[in-house]
Structure 1
């Protein structure tokens, strides 16, 4: 499956929440998409359907494809600790996600593009792999030649989010991935236990 490039509102409506951030269209029609809209009767979902929906929501939220997500789960399973929590932490430690969290881009898809187009450095070296896994203490910065890009400046100007596991220096346009966030610090509404149950079948 290739990466989804269709209307984001349609996906948000499917899950019943604005998983891609603020969305005026979602607020107007916050019911599942389809020809009959709200009038369509929907029976109770099976346990499998609920688990699958949660996995799909996590994948769309972080912009990760099936094989990548499956590999992340295997890595989380092999690690010591609670598998579901580690899975979400691995998603949060991706370079594209951290670039988004730092406010360099207004969306994860935008952050992924910035990384792919070589606008981002890690510890002074250009990294163009969005799935690059950051370690504690890694310094993420906007490349010197890219600091004047208007989209980056606009995004940083409108960003008001502060996360305990990240630091950001506006003057240098660089930040530090201080530590892997605890599950309670991650704001995403993902029931990771359902994903673990799905993969455990």
Structure 2
């Protein structure tokens, strides 16, 4: 599957906000958004206001890049959310938060979502005691995510765990750091997710 292989700092600058795509660097003074908080390119500093469509597009791109998805995946999640009962935008964000690679990142087993995706694909993660190497696997309330015993000495996993207090653990997750084990306790509410995005703009974008 196609993946963006360019500079991820450039993506943050394009959205003029930190998407936390590069782990520790995003919290340091080396962060590209801190140093140059304007879109990349020759005309980055002189771009005017966006139209309604432009705002909707930018919000879609922001969320898509934040979770590291390609357009086809992203739109599939939206269609799934649209078929569910409740608020489409909230359902959409919940589906993204339920992804295994996102949970691995949230638990602190990886420094970024892209790193979490790699940890999952390399068979370092168990779900309810069974190896799962599919980053898009959707967790359910009560599911347990564990780092495989033979993978607990990997430095990137331990370094990420040490850095977890900096970004915090969401209220819908529970972590036993000593056991390298996390529990997806419940489906989060929109207030609990506390994401700096306007998902309604994405709903409007796909409703045209």
> What 5-or-longer segments of structure 1 have no aligned partner?
none
- Counterpart-to-counterpart distance in 2, 1:188 and 1:13: 18
TM-superposed deviation, 1:37: 4.1
1:72, distance to aligned residue in structure 2 (A): 0.5
Deviation, 1:16, is 0.8
Which of 99, 107, 113 is equivalent to 1:102?
107
SS of the residue 2:205 aligns to: helix
Which residue does the alignment assign to 2:116? 111
Mapped contact 1:8–1:20 kept (Cα < 8 A): no
Aligned to 2:179, the other structure's residue is in SS state coil
| Corresponding residue number in structure 2 for 1:27 | 34
1:185, distance to aligned residue in structure 2 (A): 1.1
- Which residue matches 2:76? 71
1:177 matched to which residue of 2?
A: 184
Q: Which residue of 2 aligns with 1:10?
A: 10
Q: How do 1:1-201 residues align onto structure 2 when only pairs under 5 Å count?
A: 2-20=2-20, 22=26, 24-38=31-45, 40=46, 42-160=47-165, 161-201=168-208
CA–CA distance in structure 1, aligned partners of residues 136 and 119 of structure 2 = 13
Instruction: Looking at secondary structure, tell me which structure has more helix per residue.
Output: 2
What is the Cα deviation at residue 123 of structure 1? 0.2
Structure 2 residue runs without a partner (length 5+): none
Query: SS in structure 2 opposite 1:140?
Result: strand
Q: Give distance in 2, aligned partners of 1:120 and 1:92.
A: 17
State the number of aligned residues: 199
Q: TM-score, normalised by structure 1?
A: 0.95
Instruction: Give 3-state SS (helix, strand or coil) of 2:141's partner.
Output: coil
Residue 36 of structure 1 deviates from its aligned partner by: 4.2
Give the secondary structure class of the aligned counterpart of 1:176. Answer: strand
Displacement of 1:25 in angstroms is 2.3
CA RMSD of aligned residues (A): 1.3
